[in-house]
A = this chain, B = another copy of it.
Amino acid sequence: MMETYRDSHDRALTDYPRPSVAVDTAVLTVPPGAALSVLLVRTGDEWRLPGTFLHERERLADAVLRSLQTKAGVSGLSPRQLHVFDDPARDNRGWVLSVAHLDVVPWSRLTIDESLAKIVPVTDAGALPYGHNEILDQAVASIRSSYATTPDPAGLLEHPFTLRQLQQLHETIAGEPLMRDSFRRAMEPQLAATGELAAGTVGKPARLFARA
């Protein structure tokens, strides 16, 4: 058993005031044929990003995954930190720091509990409490910048996939059409052709790729 640390005033760290620490997460996904969307959970009559308080000695990323599982029935993947919200008046329950996170999850892994949660296009999220709109904006900016130069870094597509499928995904995330030629030139060197061709599609069959 480790000795409790004492400072020069013979006090332990726990003798000083400490904040509660929470995590709040923007879970982004792309439903088939739909726009870039975010997971919201209900508390009372209010919709918000899922979050929870940090348990003792728990890692932030683990708290995020736990909150997604218990608050929305969702198995998350790899949360990324965005920002710490530290306004002492932000939460009327007390002094709470919130570490905002982003998690990008393939639609196929999202089997949400519809009594607890819903998935809406990020443009339709409306006004969220606790500065969650700011988190959402940062999350969207973050996923857009990561998709600008790299083919599907979050693995939203099952592979193999065609260049067209990849481009449509990137356009959904960017929220605007992309140029076919430029997209191809930027992405193809970063992909590995499987040698297979897509079947059952209209037109000339496209080559299938996987992330390199």
Q: Which residues of A come within 8 Å of B, CB atoms?
A: 2, 4-5, 12-14, 16-21, 53-60, 81, 83-84, 86-88, 92-97, 99
Contact = CB atoms under 8 A, between A and B. Distances in A.
Contact of A60 (B54, B59, B86): B86
Contacts of A93: 5, 13
Which 8 interchain pairs have the tightest Cβ spacing? A5-B93, A17-B56, A57-B88, A18-B18, A13-B94, A60-B86, A13-B20, A18-B20
A21 B88 contact: no
Given A57-B95, A59-B88, 13 more contacts: A4-B94, A5-B93, A13-B53, A13-B96, A14-B20, A14-B94, A16-B20, A18-B19, A19-B54, A21-B21, A57-B88, A84-B84, A84-B99
A77 B133 CA distance: 27
Contacts of A97: 21
Say whether chain A's binding surface is mostly helix, strand, loop, or mixed: loop
A96 B5 CA distance: 12
Contacts of A83: 81
Contacts of A86: 59-60
A144 B132 CA distance: 29
A53 B16 contact: yes
Nearest to A60: B86
A112 to B, nearest CB: 23
9 contacts: A2-B92, A5-B92, A13-B20, A13-B96, A14-B94, A18-B18, A58-B88, A59-B88, A60-B86
Contacts of A54: 19
Contacts of A21: 18-19, 21, 97
B60 A94 contact: no
Contacts of A60: 84, 86
A58 B97 CA distance: 11
Contacts of A92: 2, 5
